[in-house]
Structure 1
Amino acid sequence: MNILKTVVYYILGIFGILCISVMPKRFMEAQLPETGGIFHIGEYVKTLWHFIIEFSNPESWVYMYGRPPKPFPLLETIWEPFVYSMQIVIGALFAGFFLALLLALFANFLPKPILHPLKRLLEFLESIPDLVVAILLQMLVIWIYQATDIRLFNVATYMDQKVYAGPIITLAILPMVTLFKFLLHLMEEERLRDYVVFAKSKGMKERVIVLHHILKNIAPSAFHHSKVIVWGTLSSLFIIERIFNINGITFYMTESLQPMVIAISLILLFTPFFLFFQGIDFWLRDEGIYGQTMVKKDSGNRKRIQPIRSLVHGLKQIGQSILQIRKPWNVILKPLKLFFTHMKNPKFAIGCLFFVVTITCSVLYSVVTDDHIDQTRLYFAEDGVTLISAPPHSPPEPYLMGTDALGFSIFDQLVVGAKYTLFFALLIALLRVGTGFFIGIFYAFTLNTRGQKWIEKIVDSIHFLPLSVIAYILLEPILMESSTGFQYSFSERMLLEIVILTILVVPLTAVLSGKEMKGVLQQEFIVSAKVLGGSKFHILKKHILPHIGPRLTILFGQQFIQVLLIFMHLGVFDFYFGGTNISFERIPDPPQSITYEWSGLLGAAKESLSGGQYWLIIFTLFAFMLAIFAMQLMIQGVKEVQQVKVGVIFKRKKKRVRNERKDISGRKDVQKLQAHDFHLVRRYDDFN
């Protein structure tokens, strides 16, 4: 039965890949009058059906290449690049996971004064994008080679030469940091379990408790979290292959946007990870490691699911309840009150003010100057004759952060593009979480356990598809200008990019939100509320939202960071938010962003380091890192506000704790002192 379900899930995953593969072709054909526009569902279904028929015939699996295009066997063409890419990915994942486990075991025995700064360091390292890691690693290798004539490893491929060390090391860093931090968190939570205290009271050694009990119990959670890490690694592979000049599997997917090439390439990436995680999942269930609560079958009433009717009925109930609200202004006042409560937290306030001040200054600058960007083609001395420099000008003259290859001020472009980069990243993250929340209501309140399991397994397959590659495939026909101009207007390009980047992740956020609601609905106080006659809207408003609200805020911050990373990945390939202006002259100018959003500066400067023009890219990368770090501060602030509600003591209150201890010690009451110390240490340890 499990094998049959796996086959069904795999077929559904393949069908989803086929649906994605025909989208670029559909976007390119949508502007033709006879196709009925981009939102004509009938034409899309027709295109998809023809492609499925073509896909079912292996003789049509060809790769068209050359001028004029000639067919080549597809699997023979992409098999070697696929194996090369998989060697890099698997090597990076194995190295990252192995080092994360060793470091977590080592850190588990460190004293708390050392462990606390280590956690802060991990949070900082998580804010560094993969693009920055790759660039800094290449710069370090080049600097060491120039200083000592020692080549640690090749920083790019050349001809048939292959590089492994650089891509694997770069790709392994972020999985290592993420899993290391997650394992530390799981181990600390597991140490609070009663069985650990009991084992210590029996005289069992710390090493035995960690290796034989704690690791085994946290294995399922670490296994499920590893899917998210694999998802991020596959997306990072896209950018790493470009930076190290690797003609891997992602190169063939994005080189010509042929539907058959996209489909077969994504299937090759999807299949090994899907089978591996399904096999581990079955093994954990057979061994009983999941526990009874995870394998418990639906023993309740197995009524037929009527999703449409239930959804309409639920929406009708919510609408009626909203109309019956006696104080409608509370819909606005309560969120504002909650916001100002969080603003009392310094971390949340600093992160929030960064976005407010940056976006406001960008908007005001655009209103006052009409998006003016200073430009200096040739920079002369005061005598007007002596030429000092030609574009790109290095800082601080003629401009504070220098200029790009066309002489435009980098600082002005950062200011003008801030509102597009930050505001629309926040908007996309909000749409992802908000849409997922409303779909999660349907998931938690309407579907039974069997239906929820099916949805979870289908959505779980998304983790094995590289998000950045799919975004590239779908957005290339929309954002890139051709010799005849853009196929879509500026507003259409912005709207389509927002919709595509939102829809790609909504299934995951919906399941995450639904699981959080499901966990709250299983609590005893929910049963009491139902017995007392509480409606679904009442339970949602009074019980579920207060519990999952902070978690949704944290999810919002994580999605914002992910959107920024996608912007950076697309920017390296000259895909800019709002569209890319391409020059078709005999001596073309570099591609330019229409909105001056920050990823446009990355794309224009991707070759700058080889020429020593660091300022073209370093200030933009710093701006992205600053935005990511500000969002991480907000996430940490939300966590601290929630922990204050449950009575956790923070470091800023440590001085007051010390004063209380002195007062008690002054009374010479040893028993009270020991009891008070135990209480404070327990509360402080629970937080850390």
Structure 2
Amino acid sequence: MARIIQQIIIIFLLILTLAALPVIIEVNAGEKSLEWNVEQLPKIYGEFISEISKGSLGTYQLGTQVRAIEEDIGDNFFTSLKVMLIGVISAIIISLIFGIFLSRFRLTKVFNAFMNILSTIPDFIIIIMSMILAVKIYRWTGIRVISLRPDAGALNLWFPTFLVAIAPTLYLFKLISVKYYETSGEDYIKTAVAKGMSLNYINFQHVYKNIEPFIKAELIKVISLAIGNLFIIEYIMNVSGITKFIFQSNQVQPIAIGLFAMLLISGIVYLVVRIVFYLFKRGFIYE
């Protein structure tokens, strides 16, 4: 219990410190150097805790307007949560389907080659190239694939969700493919094949059961990859998500609230994915 409390305190202070960087770092033009005003940190911590204790999340500046964070954060939070949740779950489903259940088909070899090519390209370049391709499609066909308007609804959400899912899919698919071929060479798999069991039964009851722990162990990294892409995508595609409070302000309060909200989104996505794994195992896997 003491260790959990210690970790919570460390995370709390770390996030506030990150949010305070625009305030505590100053550029000394005369000496051409950076000056760190670390002595302001205790005051920043106190002001943040004081604001929260009043039952308020504070305010942020939007253009010339000063708005209350709690009035706007709800829609932005659920927008980012929706993009993250659908993106991560889609990445897991695609990786499992092609990495295990369709691994014997020729289509999977083509998919594997395509994913290997994509994995050599940095995520930021993939995002930019995808946006350029979407614009080209609109010019060629007149079909609008993306919209940079924050009020465009589903048109402004499905493409960001697709882009968020790319990095987790690349990582998970390679992991599952490697573990699949390692597991396929085990004696108990050879025994199951010798007994005449169907390939689908072996994949469900033996291969998946042994690969699942590796997926769960890498789940935090998968979510962190998706979060990293979410920061880029919401900014360059003008998505009204939670990163709005991080990028559009240099004040400590909205940046800190945005970072804490990102942490909460990561926790919710992790919990939902673990529940999905549990339900899938209970429904399809025999113990």
Query: Is TM-score (shorter-chain normalized) higher than 0.5?
Result: yes
Q: Counterpart in 1 of 2:24?
A: 26
Q: Counterpart in 1 of 2:148?
A: 156
Q: Does 2:122 correspond to 1:129?
A: yes
Matches within 5 A, 1:342-353: none
Q: Does 2:220 correspond to 1:233?
A: no
Q: Does 2:69 correspond to 1:74?
A: yes
> Could you tell me how far apart the structure 2 residues matched to 1:143 and 1:233 are?
26
> Could you tell me how far apart the structure 2 residues matched to 1:215 and 1:275 are?
24
Matches within 5 A, 1:159-174: 160-162=151-153, 163-174=156-167
Q: Counterpart in 2 of 1:63?
A: 59
Q: Counterpart in 2 of 1:95?
A: 90
> Could you tell me how far apart the structure 2 residues matched to 1:17 and 1:49 are?
10
**C-alpha offsets along residues 573-601 of structure 1, whole Å, 9 cap, x if unaligned?**
xxxxxxxxxxxxxxxxxxxxxxxxxxxxx
> Could you tell me how far apart the structure 1 residues matched to 2:102 and 2:275 are?
31
Question: What secondary structure sits across from 1:65 in the alignment?
Answer: strand
Q: Which ranges in structure 2 are unaligned for 5 or more consecutive residues?
A: 279-287
**Aligned with 2:103 (options 104, 108, 112):** 108
**Aligned with 1:244 (options 215, 237, 247):** 237
TM-superposed deviation, 1:208? 1.0
Q: Counterpart in 1 of 2:251?
A: 258
> Could you tell me how far apart the structure 2 residues matched to 1:275 and 1:166 are?
22
Matches within 5 A, 1:470-509: none
Classify 1:233/1:284 alpha carbon distance in 2 versus 1 (closer, same or farther; 3 Å). Answer: closer
Q: Is the 8 A contact 1:134 1:243 kept in 2?
A: no
> Could you tell me how far apart the structure 2 residues matched to 1:270 and 1:173 are?
21
TM-superposed deviation, 1:215? 0.6
Question: What secondary structure sits across from 1:125 in the alignment?
Answer: helix
Q: Is the 8 A contact 1:104 1:183 kept in 2?
A: yes
> Could you tell me how far apart the structure 2 residues matched to 1:214 and 1:67 are?
55
> Could you tell me how far apart the structure 2 residues matched to 1:156 and 1:78 are?
20
Task: Give the AA of the match of 2:42.
Answer: K
TM-superposed deviation, 1:94? 2.1
- TM-score of the superposed pair, with normalisation by structure 2: 0.79
Question: What secondary structure sits across from 1:154 in the alignment?
Answer: coil
Classify 1:137/1:181 alpha carbon distance in 2 versus 1 (closer, same or farther; 3 Å). Answer: same
Q: Counterpart in 2 of 1:183?
A: 176
Classify 1:279/1:250 alpha carbon distance in 2 versus 1 (closer, same or farther; 3 Å). Answer: closer
Matches within 5 A, 1:58-457: 58-59=54-55, 61-65=57-61, 70=66, 72-110=67-105, 119-149=112-142, 151-157=143-149, 160-162=151-153, 163-274=156-267, 277=270
**C-alpha offsets along residues 263-320 of structure 1, whole Å, 9 cap, x if unaligned?**
11111121242255468779999xxxxxxxxxxxxxxxxxxxxxxxxxxxxxxxxxxx
> Could you tell me how far apart the structure 2 residues matched to 1:67 and 1:166 are?
27
Task: Give the AA of the match of 1:15.
Answer: L
> Could you tell me how far apart the structure 1 residues matched to 2:183 and 2:12 are?
38
Q: Is the 8 A contact 1:153 1:165 kept in 2?
A: no
Task: Give the AA of the match of 2:209.
Answer: K
Task: Give the AA of the match of 2:68.
Answer: P
**C-alpha offsets along residues 218-277 of structure 1, whole Å, 9 cap, x if unaligned?**
111112222212111111112112232223211221211211111111111212422554
> Could you tell me how far apart the structure 2 residues matched to 1:124 and 1:167 are?
21
Q: Does 2:4 correspond to 1:14?
A: no
Task: Give the AA of the match of 1:13.
Answer: I
RMSD of the alignment, in Å? 3.4
> Could you tell me how far apart the structure 1 residues matched to 2:94 and 2:214 are?
18
**C-alpha offsets along residues 450-497 of structure 1, whole Å, 9 cap, x if unaligned?**
xxxxxxxxxxxxxxxxxxxxxxxxxxxxxxxxxxxxxxxxxxxxxxxx
> Could you tell me how far apart the structure 1 residues matched to 2:52 and 2:245 are?
21
> Could you tell me how far apart the structure 1 residues matched to 2:105 and 2:167 are?
22
Classify 1:235/1:58 alpha carbon distance in 2 versus 1 (closer, same or farther; 3 Å). Answer: farther
Classify 1:90/1:68 alpha carbon distance in 2 versus 1 (closer, same or farther; 3 Å). Answer: closer
> Could you tell me how far apart the structure 1 residues matched to 2:42 and 2:109 are?
58
Deviates more, 1:236-245 or 1:214-223: 236-245
> Could you tell me how far apart the structure 1 residues matched to 2:244 and 2:62 are?
16
> Could you tell me how far apart the structure 2 residues matched to 1:277 and 1:161 are?
28
Report the count of equivalent residues. Answer: 272
**C-alpha offsets along residues 492-530 of structure 1, whole Å, 9 cap, x if unaligned?**
xxxxxxxxxxxxxxxxxxxxxxxxxxxxxxxxxxxxxxx
> Could you tell me how far apart the structure 2 residues matched to 1:238 and 1:46 are?
28
> Could you tell me how far apart the structure 1 residues matched to 2:276 and 2:84 are?
24
Question: What secondary structure sits across from 1:245 in the alignment?
Answer: coil
Q: Is the 8 A contact 2:100 2:180 kept in 1?
A: no
TM-superposed deviation, 1:62? 1.7
> Could you tell me how far apart the structure 2 residues matched to 1:248 and 1:283 are?
25
Classify 1:170/1:284 alpha carbon distance in 2 versus 1 (closer, same or farther; 3 Å). Answer: closer
Question: What secondary structure sits across from 1:249 in the alignment?
Answer: coil
